[in-house]
């Protein structure tokens, strides 16, 4: 049965923070077992309202609120398990732990395109400033009720950022979520792209490029071949003659032609691979 923990009667900014000092003291004396688990569960339950309040600060940022509650709860569990009384009160330790877990969730789980942390911070500053300015500015003529879009200069003034940083922040806003490849193309040239999906505009790998690379890598090895081996390769692969025909023309057995072809091709291949490795 979970222990019932007393709550502080206080009206500060963490008025939903329970007084769990006695419970933490008891946890430090208990080994793993049913009693330890019951006290730990009670502590976590008492602090859940605070973790949910911290999670609610991140609503309307593209994440489901229930997911944020879960992430905050995981941060709370980590804080409870790692807390030591020598650190001081639990709340100043738990709040950064929970907040860090929420920020990590946004950074690692929600961005469709990876961007550096600095750009993510620029995005947050620009997003807040743009929202504030859109609220303050009147609607554009002919568009009643719609807020005006602030300029780059307006956003730079509001955020204290350079205009290039503002542009990076605006670009990161679009990187938070990605379009499906089945989405319709947004190109301005509707005569060409009208009705086309994004996947229709994707290119494909041209296998001819690999052939060009292989051919260029093989050229030095082919030039270095003795005249006889070079002629055998030419007759076999460019004149499409059989090994018997080559042997009859050069005065050697079909078996000897076969051995020469195999050894020559192996030599060219080794040198071509070495050439590609060196070039890379």
pLDDT one-digit tens code per residue, 66-76: 888 999 999 99
CATH of domain 207-279: 1.10.10.10
CB neighbour list of residue 95: distance below 8 Å, 6 or more residues apart: 50, 54
Q: What percent of the chain has pLDDT over 90?
A: 23
Q: Is-contact 225 264, C-beta < 8 A?
A: yes
Residue 63 has pLDDT above 90, yes or no: no
pTM to 2 decimal places:
0.41
Phi then psi for 147, rounded to 5 degrees? -70, 150
Determine the pLDDT at residue 218.
83
What residue ranges do the domains of the chain occupy? 21-110, 113-140+147-179, 207-279
66-80, 81-95, 198-212, 260-274: least confidently modelled range = 198-212
Determine the pLDDT at residue 192.
46
Q: Using one digit for the tens of pLDDT, what is the confidence trace for 95-108? A: 999 998 888 887 66
**Candidates 1.20.1260.10, 1.10.1740.10, 3.30.420.40, 1.10.3260.10; correct CATH number of 21-110?**
1.10.1740.10
Longest dimension (CA), the chain: 108
Same CATH fold assignment for domains 21-110 and 113-140+147-179: no
* Mean pLDDT computed over 189-196: 53
* Mean pLDDT computed over 46-58: 90
Determine the pLDDT at residue 11.
35
Where does 84-161 have alpha helices with state H? 90-105, 117-136, 152-159
Cα–chain center distance at 73:
24
Per CATH, which fold does 113-140+147-179 belong to? Arc Repressor Mutant, subunit A (1.10.10)
Q: Is-contact 246 232, C-beta < 8 A?
A: yes
Determine the pLDDT at residue 74.
92
Determine the pLDDT at residue 62.
64
Determine the pLDDT at residue 168.
82
């Amino acid at each position: 049965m979970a222990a019932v923990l007393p709550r502080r009667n206080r009206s500060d900014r963490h008025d939903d923070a329970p007084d769990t000092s006695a419970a933490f003291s008891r946890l430090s004396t208990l080994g793993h077992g049913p009693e330890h688990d019951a006290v730990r569960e009670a502590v976590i339950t008492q602090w859940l309202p605070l973790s949910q309040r911290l999670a609610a600060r991140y609503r309307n940022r593209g994440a489901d609120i229930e997911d944020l509650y879960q992430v905050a709860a995981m941060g709370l569990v980590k804080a409870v398990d790692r807390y030591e009384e020598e650190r001081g009160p639990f709340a100043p330790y738990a709040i950064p732990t929970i907040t860090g877990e929420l920020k990590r969730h946004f950074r690692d789980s929600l961005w469709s395109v990876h961007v550096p942390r600095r750009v993510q911070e620029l995005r947050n500053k620009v997003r807040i400033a743009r929202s504030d300015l859109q609220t303050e500015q009147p609607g554009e003529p002919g568009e009643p009720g719609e807020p005006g879009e602030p300029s780059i200069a307006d956003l730079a003034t509001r955020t204290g950022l350079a205009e290039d940083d503002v542009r990076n922040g605006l670009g990161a806003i679009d990187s938070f979520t990605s379009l499906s490849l089945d989405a319709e193309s947004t190109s301005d040239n509707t005569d060409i792209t009208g009705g086309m999906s994004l996947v229709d505009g994707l290119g494909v790998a041209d296998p001819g490029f690999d052939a060009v690379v292989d051919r260029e890598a093989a050229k030095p090895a082919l030039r270095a071949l003795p005249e006889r081996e070079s002629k055998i390769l030419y007759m076999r692969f460019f004149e499409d003659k059989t090994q018997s025909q080559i042997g009859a023309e050069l005065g050697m057995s079909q078996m000897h032609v076969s051995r020469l072809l195999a050894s020559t091709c192996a030599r060219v291949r080794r040198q071509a691979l070495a050439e590609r490795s060196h070039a890379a």
